[in-house]
Structure 1
Amino acid sequence: MTVERILAAAGLTGATTSPLGGGTYNSVFRVSAREGEFVLKVSPGDQPGLTYERHLMRTEALFCTLASKVAPVPEVVHADDTALLATCLPGEPVFGRSDVDRPLLRRQLGEATRAVHEVTGPGFGYPQLGLHDTWTAAFFGMYDAVLADARRYGVPLPTADLARHAKAFDEVTRPALVHFDLWDGNILADTGLTGLVDGERAFWGDPVAEFVSLALFGSIEDDADFLSGHGFEFTDSARVRLAAYQAYLYSIMLTERVPRGSTDEAMERVIMDALTRALGVLA
């Protein structure tokens, strides 16, 4: 479906579009129309990707529909399997910025993230791939899938034996809504928090998984402002699960470099070092 047909299907009039930077998977556009300002995301079609990268537009639409009721998240205007048109939120990504009140922002982010995590789903896992009755089954399957993707793309990855930590995952009994991509580039702010965007990688699972991208290559336990806003208190089993989720995300980041054609060797070393540290906790 062309951009023009998407805008027509959404009922927008007098619309003009301009590319937005920052997208690493979809094409992203700013849309100005008589009806207001919007963001349009268009999928790359049959571009090679990872197992979970299927029907991501539907997943993001679901995330926005649910999360926008409780947090600053875009509202869906139009969605199908190839595109998502949503409201445009104020503010700019906080990545690389020094003009924000960081402690205030992190506290507000903790509060907003907790509100999202209070949304409960019908099962565990990626909604576009089919849900599981338990988080243990869902996450173990997610981890196995990225390892299979790594083998398919010829990416050698160190791995963990998650089965020996099954009891820690069994503690998760409520499928919470998890964004799973809340790095600074997907957090908007002006003088304070204004938006959480790009929820296409969301799943139903353990809120602890959220803390990986929120402290990418670091530790969320060092972020007292965020934790005070969220109200989360770590246990030993939560730390084990966090290490597993770190291993999962860093394995994704290393594997997806092949289909995306990334050649940044310095970044690859950073990711591999972070993966090695996470696996050390699980050893």
Structure 2
Amino acid sequence: MSSLTRSPTQQQLGADDVTALVGHALGETPVAATQLTGGERFGYTGDRPHASTWREAVVAAVEALLHDGAAWGVGDDLLPSARVRAALDRHGQVLDDVDRPVLVHVDLWDGNVLALPDADGTWRRSGLATGRPVVLDAAARTRLALYRVWVDVVMAAELPSRGKTGPADADFRALLTRHLAGELDILAV
């Protein structure tokens, strides 16, 4: 996906145009069919974190994010690494219930619909960013809480790379901090 241009922002297109583009893209794309697409391993493709078990893939992906967050200077107040690791250590066995790698998209929003202008300047879908390779099991509250921790770790670790470190973003950072702490509290770590 790195060769594709990110979705146009609402500054480049009007909000109605973005909504129409996203709706059209999702209507054309058999998103539900991705769950039928299996693989030989869990996790990401290429050199990104992956493993032969779901637990190992999740731990590797979260560890990579914790490393990135530390490298970006994301503090323990936003990214409590010890608590995140404790949650994975304490509850990681529930991830072993996931025994079939499939693609599930859990991050569909306008920023993950990739678009390019065609010859007449009309924006057209050029792809979908696949988000995080998460397999949801609605019956497993613990697994769901671990997935939410993972997404919160992604958001916290990526704050600097998305320019979300200034005073104007303090409310968002506080919300993210509360959400991550709440999920970790659910996991009793």
TM bucket by the smaller chain?
Answer: 0.5 to 0.7
* Cα distance in 1 between the residues matched to 2:64 and 2:57: 11
Residue 66 of structure 1: aligned partner:
none
* Cα distance in 2 between the residues matched to 1:250 and 1:196: 28
CA-CA distance at 1:272 after TM superposition: 1.5
Residue 274, structure 1, aligned to residue 184, structure 2: no
Residue 8 of structure 2: aligned partner:
21
Residue 207, structure 1, aligned to residue 135, structure 2: yes
* Cα distance in 2 between the residues matched to 1:125 and 1:20: 24
One-letter identity of the residue aligned with 1:278? E
* Cα distance in 2 between the residues matched to 1:249 and 1:121: 22
1:162-201 equivalent positions in 2, closer than 5 A: 162-183=88-109, 186=112, 198-201=128-131
**1:153-176 deviations in whole A, cap 9, x for unaligned?**
221212332122122100000001
* Alpha carbons 1:177, 1:202 under 8 Å: kept: no
**1:140-165 deviations in whole A, cap 9, x for unaligned?**
11111111112112212123321221
Structure whose alpha-carbon radius of gyration is higher: 1
Greater RCO, CA 8 A, separation 6+: 2
Bigger fraction of residues in helix: 2
* Cα distance in 2 between the residues matched to 1:174 and 1:120: 7
Q: Give structure 2 stretches of 5+ with no counterpart.
A: 13-18, 114-124
Bigger fraction of residues in strand: 1
**1:76-135 deviations in whole A, cap 9, x for unaligned?**
xxxxxxxxxxxxxx93336xxxxxxxxxxxxx9xxx544211210110111122631111
Residue 21 of structure 2: aligned partner:
92
1:67-86 equivalent positions in 2, closer than 5 A: none
Q: 1:129 to 1:137 in 2, by over 3 A?
A: same
Q: Give structure 1 stretches of 5+ with no counterpart.
A: 1-5, 7-18, 29-89, 95-107, 188-194, 209-232
Residue 33 of structure 2: aligned partner:
115
Q: Specify the SS of the correspondent of 1:178.
A: coil
* Alpha carbons 1:243, 1:278 under 8 Å: kept: yes
Q: 1:274 to 1:196 in 2, by over 3 A?
A: farther
Residue 145 of structure 2: aligned partner:
243
> Could you list the runs of 4 or more consecutive aligned residues of structure 1 that deviate by over 6 angstroms after TM superposition?
none
Q: 1:186 to 1:268 in 2, by over 3 A?
A: same
2:163 to 238, 250, 261: 261
Residue 60 of structure 2: aligned partner:
141
CA-CA distance at 1:180 after TM superposition: 3.9
One-letter identity of the residue aligned with 2:45? P
* Cα distance in 1 between the residues matched to 2:92 and 2:54: 10
* Cα distance in 1 between the residues matched to 2:31 and 2:142: 21
Q: 1:121 to 1:252 in 2, by over 3 A?
A: same
Identity, in percent, stands at 30
Q: Specify the SS of the correspondent of 1:91.
A: helix
* Cα distance in 2 between the residues matched to 1:183 and 1:167: 31
* Alpha carbons 1:149, 1:255 under 8 Å: kept: yes
- Root-mean-square deviation over aligned CA pairs: 3.7
* Cα distance in 1 between the residues matched to 2:68 and 2:163: 15
Residue 252, structure 1, aligned to residue 154, structure 2: yes
* Alpha carbons 2:7, 2:112 under 8 Å: kept: no
* Alpha carbons 2:22, 2:109 under 8 Å: kept: no
